[in-house]
Amino acid sequence: MRKLLTMLAALATLSLTNCGYNAIQTNDEQVKSAWSEVLNQYQRRADLVPNLVNTVKGFAAQEQKVLIGVTEARAKASSIQLTPELINDPAAFAKFQAAQGELTQALNRLMVVSERYPDLKSDQNFRDLQAQLEGTENRITVARNRYIDAVRQYNVTVRSFPTNLTAKLFDLSLKPNFTVENESQISTAPTVDFGTSTPPNGTAPAPASGAPAK
C-alpha cells in the first residue's frame, strides 16, 4: 500500500508538471513580486505629497485649487484597500489605476504652477522634493513595466494549450494589466488656468501652458 501511494504521488507530481501547473504558479509569484514593487513606489510618491504641497503653499498659497486637487487626489488613491486580491479583480484594479492616474495629473499641475514662482523654484527644500518626485516617477515607470511584462507572461501561460486546461481546472483567470489608454491619458500635458492669481513678484500671470509629464 505504501509503495502504491508513493507511485500515485509521483504520478500526480509528474502530471502537474507536464500540465503546466508549476509554470503557472511560478508566473503567478512573479506577478505578485512585480506588483509589490509597483505598490512600494506608488506609496513612496504618496509619502512625498504632503511635504511637497506644504512647500509650495509657503510660496504660492493663492493656488488653492491646485493644492487642494493634489491633496484630494492623494487621499483618493490612498483610500483604496491594497489587498493581494486587487490584481485578480479587474474592476478594483481599474479603480486603483484611475486613482493613481488622477494623482499623476494633479502633481503635473502642481509642477506647472511651480514654474510661475521663481522664489519657489530656487528653494532648496523644493528642489530636493522635486528631485525625489522625479526619481520616484522613474521608479514607478520601471516597476509598472516589469509588472506589465510579468502579467503578459502569466496571461500567455494560462491561455496556451495545454496549460489553459490546467488553468480552467483550478479556476485561474487572466490578470488585469495597465492599459494603453490609461498610459496615454496620464501622460497628457495638463491645462492650467491661473485665473487672476498673481505671483509674489507682482508681475501679471502669463497665459497658461502645458508642461510634459515627468
Residue 179: predicted pLDDT: 74
Q: 0.85 exceeded by the pTM?
A: no
CATH class of 23-186: mainly alpha
Q: Structural domain boundaries of the chain?
A: 23-186
The fraction of the chain above a pLDDT of 70, given in percent, is 75
pLDDT at residue 26, as a whole number: 95
pLDDT in tens, 94-120: 999 999 999 999 999 999 999 999 999
pLDDT at residue 15 in the model: 52
Dump pLDDT digits (tens) for 5-31.
444 444 454 455 567 889 999 999 999
Q: Concatenated DSSP letters for the chain?
A: -HHHHHHHHHHHHHHHHHTTHHHHHHHHHHHHHHHHHHHHHHHHHHHHHHHHHHHHHHH-TT-HHHHHHHHHHHHHHHTS---GGGGG-HHHHHHHHHHHHHHHHHHHHHHHHHTT-HHHHH-HHHHHHHHHHHHHHHHHHHHHHHHHHHHHHHHHHHHSTTHHHHHHHTT-PPPP---HHHHHHHTSPPP---TT---TT-PPPPPP------
pLDDT for 17 equals 53
Question: Is 4 a residue whose pLDDT tops 70?
Answer: no
Percent above pLDDT 90 for the chain: 67
pLDDT value for 205: 38
pLDDT at 164 over 70: yes
